C-alpha cells in the first residue's frame, strides 16, 4: 500500500489539502503532516525537535532553502512498518492539537 493510503487509514478524521508538493492532513484545524514525494513531513513543535531530528532518516524540513524548527522530513524508508508510521503520525497529531487551529 502506498504511503498516502497508509496515512489515510491510520489518522483520525482529518481534512486533506494539497500543499508542499503533496497532500497535507489537517487535524482539528491545524496541519499535522504532509505526504510528499520523499516521505512524510511531520509537525513536531519545538520542544521535541532536537531529539526527533537526531533519528536515522529524519532531517529538519527545508522549504525555500530555509530550515524550519518544529517540522521534520521523515524519509519513506523509515516508515516501512506500520508501528513506525503510527509513531510519527502520533507526533504530528499531538503537535497539531497543541498548536491549535490558526
Q: What is the pLDDT of residue 25?
A: 97
Dihedral of CA 86/91/97/99: which sign? negative
Domains present along the chain, CATH in parentheses: 3-99 (3.90.1150.30)
pLDDT at 72 over 90: yes
Which of 48, 31, 29 has its CA nearest to residue 40? 31
Query: Please, what's the b/e burial string for 57-78 (b: 16 or more CB within 10 A of its CB; e: otherwise)?
Result: ebebbeeeeeebebbbbbebeb
Say which residues have a Cβ less than 8 Å from residue 56's Cβ, sequence separation at least 6.
78
C-alpha cell, 70: 518544529
Considering the chain, what percentage of its residues have pLDDT values greater than 90? Answer: 72
pLDDT score, position 19: 87
Amino acid at each position: 500500500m502506498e504511503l498516502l493510503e497508509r496515512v489515510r487509514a491510520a489518522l483520525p478524521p482529518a481534512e486533506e489539502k494539497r500543499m508542499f508538493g503533496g497532500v497535507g492532513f489537517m487535524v482539528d484545524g491545524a496541519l499535522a503532516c504532509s505526504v510528499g514525494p520523499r516521505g512524510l513531513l511531520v509537525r513536531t513543535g519545538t520542544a521535541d525537535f532536537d531529539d526527533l531530528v537526531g533519528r536515522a532518516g529524519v532531517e529538519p524540513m527545508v522549504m525555500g532553502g530555509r530550515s524550519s524548527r518544529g517540522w521534520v522530513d521523515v524519509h519513506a524508508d523509515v516508515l516501512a512498518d506500520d508501528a513506525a508510521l503510527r509513531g510519527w503520525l502520533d507526533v504530528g497529531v499531538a503537535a497539531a492539537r497543541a498548536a491549535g487551529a490558526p
